[in-house]
Amino acid sequence: MMLLAPAVGALFLLTADVIGRLLSATTEINVGIITALVGAPVLVFLARKTKVAQI
């Protein structure tokens, strides 16, 4: 699993960059915006799925 994570991360960033370039013809959308749009729901899903100890 640890060997696969860097490859998946690089593929995700490459895909986000291509999507950002294709969505807007006149200007680029930053990769950070695309990753935030995908990453925030994933983070919420993981937070709800796992029980986190309350502080």
Domain residue spans of the chain: 22-50
Q: Express each pLDDT in 5-41 by its tens digit.
A: 999 999 999 999 998 888 887 888 888 999 999 999 9
Question: Per the structure block, which two tokens stand in for 49?
Answer: 């799925």
Nearest to 37 by CA among 28, 29, 47: 29
Nearest to 8 by CA among 44, 29, 38: 38
52 vs 28, more confident: 28
Question: Per the structure block, which two tokens stand in for 26?
Answer: 């006149």
pTM: 0.71
Mapped onto helix, strand or coil, the DSSP state of residue 22 is helix
